Structure 1
Amino acid sequence: MESTGALKPSTLDSVMRRLSRAANHGFLWMAIAGVLALIGGQPRRAAARGMLALAGSSALANGVLKPLFPRRRPPVRAWINPKRGVEFPTSSSFPSGHSASAAAFTTAVAMESPATGVVLAPLAAAVAYSRVHNGVHWPSDVFAGIAVGGAVAAGTRRWWAVRDEEPADLGPECVVPALPGGDGLVVFTNPGSGSEDDGIVDAIREALPAAVIIEFNPDIDFDKQIEAKLRESKPRAIGVCGGDGTVVTVADAATRHNLPLAVFPGGTLNHFARDVGVADVAETVTAVESGQAAFVDHAVVTTDTGVTARFLNTASLGGYPDAVRLREKWEPRFGKWPAAAAAMIRVLAAAEPMSVTIDGTKASIWMLFVGNGRYSPGDQVPMSRPELNRGLLDVRYLRADRKFSRARLLFAAATGTLGSSPVYIHALAPTLSVQVNAESVAIATDGEVVADARRFDFSTEPAAVAVYRISKD
């Protein structure tokens, strides 16, 4: 401390003074979060986690620890350059709130986006050092602040899981036609999928010039268009460029006709494409031309009204479809997890309990989620899907027949104790039977409402469709 205080005046004083002021009340980190949010995707998730960690660390450091551990600031007389031009705080010196905020934001960002965290780390370190350089904190204050911020950021994992960007484990690799230039491939595209990249179809045409590309007519049933084109062209493989709703429609046709499926992520929501490991056009093109593929499971739901629907991602009853729609509406502004939490609160507040019989056991529930394959984590809100190859359904539902069930559910979600809460039920099973003991309710599969019914039987079709994907070995 004495050696730092004895530093002669230099241009670094001005830099440290301005940097410290920029970080006052977290403004520096808020500005950076705003930039990351505009980028979208992984950086946006990083910004959301960073801001939550920043809020938590600031509240803990300034609102709890400073009053509990009062400590005098470094004496001004110890400095050759008194206060180095910064306003001397009157609050407790221990711990450093600036350091806690810097560590919390940067650590949380790094959890979602390691590359961004590496870029921000020197800035966070400089902010922490500036508090000592400017003479307003002891070094131990700064180290304590860094520890507090890092711990708060790490603690967010307990109630908000970090999404695993690794693709899911698929079924066995299989022999499928290698189609140089896309010869023998028909690709269906949906201009209404909300693509974030208007050039993706042109990229497919350029990379696979021999492929036949068909744009869906939104006024005609997609299944009819697919069937007509398959009868006409008799392709060796079928492709799709669109979001999850479009992918499941074409995948259903691929299963019926025993054709391998090429997925080009071209919609706003591409959960299935991400999970099978085809993140861009180039990866799918390489797999198509080399004939590399792996099997994935399909899930199926059959209703008592005669409707049978396959789904690749999820099916849901009750308020879950409404929660998903609200989350997707709010996600661009707030990020996925904050939007999901707010949507869940909004839906639960207005929801009515649903009386059901699940595999022979009567229960009252708020909503039910059925995933194709195992989702993770099991004891929190699911964020990723590590497996698509075991012929299992991921079943989760929220019980309404427990006292104060809504309040207990929200408390469990906020404290990371969903896994031990009696109102949150999670199981893996190859089949599931649900009987609604009241009026018919709607079921949504992969974001689309497909039927109203009172009985729903879920099952899986292991290794139902071969998906072009580069071998991960």
Structure 2
Amino acid sequence: MVAARDSTAPAQRAVRLRTRCAAGAALAASLGAVAIVVAGLIREPWRLPLGVAAVVVAVVAGWDALVHRGARRYAAATIVVLALVGVVLLLDLHALARIAAVVALVLASLAAARVTLHDVLVAPSVTTTPVGRAEHGVLLMNPRSGGGRVARFDLENQARRRGITPILLQPGDDLRALAEGAVADGADVLGVAGGDGSQALVADVARRHGLPMVCVPAGTRNHFALDLGLDRDDVVGALEAFGEAVERRVDLAIVGDRVFVNNASLGVYATVVQSDAYRAAKIRTTSQMLPDLLGPDARGFDLRFEPPDRDHPIRADLVLVSNGVYRVERLSGFGTRARLDEGVLGVVTLTLDTTTTVSGLLAAELRGDLGRHPGFRQWSTPEFTVDSGDELVDVGVDGEALQLAPPLRFRSLPAALRVRVPKHRPAAARPPLPRPGAAAAELLRRVAGRPQQRTKTR
């Protein structure tokens, strides 16, 4: 039997080649514009730095106009025009060919950069279905989430005005039981205004009953809302998803019988978040606790798991398991997910062998470039198991501090949840836009044929 040929390999090679060529063209065009200015001003040195600076300003402002919308785009475009006019004034006004060449090269550089970085400039496409107004929508609200966002935005009355039944969580209430009660009373759409822990509990009830859910970003960080493409500052606007909206399916993740929408942490981070002081002072609490957790007299963390490369075992001081693959920037804020429908868990581990690597962790945390830490590893998998000799393991699940008995079995639940979002929202979050300097570095990496850093595995 002749093995079937992989027809996708030539297409992937063609995409990689096109990306490298576009990246090279973007860099070459930028350098070409600078070279023309230098050649035109070489006889008058005092004009040289001004001309080069004007071209750089035009490229940077052009990039800003390329990746933003609205007033910021128009302002950046105005700066581009002014910078190019400055170049014209610095050059010989009769040198029209050189002027046209500089303008053309700047525009060509921006166009080629957009082709190269299409994956970080354009939100991923997702399949959505138009849906009608909820007949019996219910909004469960946690008044303590987000420093009292429910009361601040008057969500109870805002819901009533839209024909949505509000249910306010009282001290001692069981949110899951309230959600189950709402389903028993005939709710056809379940909404929740609260943090990501509350979102996960209601999401589990919704997926068990096959009902759609509405996410209202009334928590502190609202990572789930961000990655759904919602505006986290428009809390009341999220209620529009109970009206005519669009619906999509997203993944959930589960550890044991506990569903989570964002991530679960084990090891040093899970132990730190158990501290009552952590929420008020994350960096200070972390720096104070790390010596006891990772110092020479520390007991260490007994976390046993199978890494992707079995020939290179990992001793991890920290393990993060996420619902989907994150762009990991820092532990305290974590990152964003380009997709919520790939049916995989993201796994991140950190190994801190020496005092230097611990100091490096704090520095990377402050800079927001955790992925560059030497003990950082990242990969994806549908399932993941962590065992331990400890009777109970500290686990932080969507910000909730828990202790669970090992082994801990994590699984992705592909397309488990139906989510409604307002029609005017994009239904998918765009990855963070790179700064001009980071974009230039990314262009260089892609010219060299190196993979994008945010999904690397070491």
CA distance 1:403–1:219, change in 2 (3 Å):
closer
Query: Quick one: which amino acid aligns to residue 365 of structure 1?
Result: A
When normalised by structure 2's length, the TM-score is: 0.58
The correspondence of residues 205-354 of structure 1 with structure 2, limited to 5 A, is 205-206=160-161, 208-209=162-163, 211-231=164-184, 233-279=185-231, 280=234, 284-290=238-244, 292-302=246-256, 308-321=257-270, 322=272, 329-330=280-281, 345-352=287-294, 353-354=300-301
Q: What 5-or-longer segments of structure 2 have no aligned partner?
A: 1-45, 83-119, 295-299, 428-458
Contact 1:378 1:426 in 2 (8 A): no
| C-alpha distance in structure 1 between counterparts of 2:287 and 2:315, whole Å | 18
Match of 1:39 in 2: none
1:450 aligns with one of 399, 402, 406: 402
Q: How much does 1:440 deviate?
A: 2.5
Match of 2:157 in 1: 202
Q: Deviations over 1:176-226 (max 9, x none)?
A: 6x3x3x4311211111113174323322222x22x2211112212222222
CA distance 1:120–1:324, change in 2 (3 Å):
farther
With CA pairs under 8 Å and 6+ residues apart, which has the higher RCO, 1 or 2? 2
The correspondence of residues 420-459 of structure 1 with structure 2, limited to 5 A, is 421-438=373-390, 440-459=392-411
Q: Deviations over 1:211-259 (max 9, x none)?
A: 221111221222222223332x122221112222221111111112211
Q: Deviations over 1:82-125 (max 9, x none)?
A: xxxxxxxxxxxx99xxx9xx99xx999999987769779999xx
Contact 2:212 2:418 in 1 (8 A): yes
CA distance 1:111–1:470, change in 2 (3 Å):
same
Query: Quick one: which amino acid aligns to residue 222 of structure 2?
Result: N
The correspondence of residues 49-68 of structure 1 with structure 2, limited to 5 A, is none
| C-alpha distance in structure 2 between counterparts of 1:168 and 1:396, whole Å | 26
| C-alpha distance in structure 2 between counterparts of 1:271 and 1:122, whole Å | 34
Contact 1:260 1:467 in 2 (8 A): yes
Match of 2:144 in 1: 192
The correspondence of residues 9-408 of structure 1 with structure 2, limited to 5 A, is 169=126, 173=129, 178=132, 180=133, 182-194=134-146, 195=149, 197-206=152-161, 208-209=162-163, 211-231=164-184, 233-279=185-231, 280=234, 284-290=238-244, 292-302=246-256, 308-321=257-270, 322=272, 329-330=280-281, 345-352=287-294, 353-359=300-306, 363-376=314-327, 382-401=334-353, 404-408=356-360
| C-alpha distance in structure 1 between counterparts of 2:344 and 2:191, whole Å | 26
Q: How much does 1:348 deviate?
A: 3.6
CA distance 1:456–1:447, change in 2 (3 Å):
same
Q: How much does 1:447 deviate?
A: 0.5
Identity among equivalent pairs (%): 26
Query: Quick one: which amino acid aligns to residue 426 of structure 1?
Result: Q
RMSD, matched Cα: 5.7
Number of residue pairs matched by the alignment: 357
Match of 1:43 in 2: none
| C-alpha distance in structure 2 between counterparts of 1:324 and 1:436, whole Å | 19
Give the 3-state SS of the residue equivalent to 1:356 in structure 2. coil
Q: How much does 1:394 deviate?
A: 0.9
Q: How much does 1:289 deviate?
A: 2.6
Give the 3-state SS of the residue equivalent to 2:347 in structure 1. strand
Q: Deviations over 1:288-329 (max 9, x none)?
A: 333531111110001xxxxx2000011111232436987753
Contact 1:432 1:457 in 2 (8 A): yes
Give the 3-state SS of the residue equivalent to 1:329 in structure 2. coil
CA distance 1:377–1:217, change in 2 (3 Å):
closer
Contact 2:206 2:417 in 1 (8 A): yes
Give the 3-state SS of the residue equivalent to 2:251 in structure 1. strand
| C-alpha distance in structure 2 between counterparts of 1:235 and 1:416, whole Å | 44
Contact 2:195 2:218 in 1 (8 A): yes
Q: Deviations over 1:256-306 (max 9, x none)?
A: 22111122222333211221123346764544333531111110001xxxx
| C-alpha distance in structure 1 between counterparts of 2:263 and 2:411, whole Å | 12
| C-alpha distance in structure 1 between counterparts of 2:63 and 2:285, whole Å | 23
